[in-house]
Amino acid sequence: MSDVTIYHNPACGTSRNVLAMIRNSGEEPQVIEYLKTPPDRATLERLIIAMGITPRELLRKKGTPYEALSLDSTLWTDAQLIDFMVQEPVLINRPIVITPLGTRLCRPSEAVLDLLPQPQQGAFTKEDGEAVIDDKGARIAKP
């Protein structure tokens, strides 16, 4: 079993890029499609603590009922925001990656590179054509 886990949405380009970078490091992660198998409240709370972020920082706005539920309101407590994410997992931003080096919401996708125990095994280009890793496995600096 892999030491790497990704909370993944296959419909999300960022999530697909992160999964591909994990695999480019030689890891075959445990993939949890969190819309099909959502985390329970205790797991979600542990993930938030491990990432060192607030529940509000984990909320996804785009393509979710965020606006319809008025989740931008400061009236909602952290516990209530977690309740919403448990009830509507689409509100959980992704991808979340767990490795022996930490737990992180990997947006942008390159954030996963700091979490991977093994280096990239070869060149990597994101789905949008942006080169991220060169043919020697080194990160390409952004201009």
Quote the pTM value: 0.94
Over the stretch 69-109, which tens digit does the pLDDT of each residue have?
Answer: 999 999 999 999 999 999 999 999 999 999 999 999 999 99
pLDDT of 27 reads 95
Average pLDDT, the chain: 95
5-133 is classed CATH 3.40.30.10: yes
Catalytic annotation, pick one of 4, 6, 12, 44: 12
Domain ranges (residues) in the chain: 5-133
Over the stretch 47-78, which tens digit does the pLDDT of each residue have?
Answer: 999 999 999 999 999 999 999 999 999 999 99
Active site residue 12: yes
* Complete DSSP assignment for 13-78: HHHHHHHHHHHHTT---EEEETTTS---HHHHHHHHHHHT--HHHHB--TTSSTTTTTTT-TTS-H
Torsion of CA 5, 7, 9, 15, to 10 degrees: -60
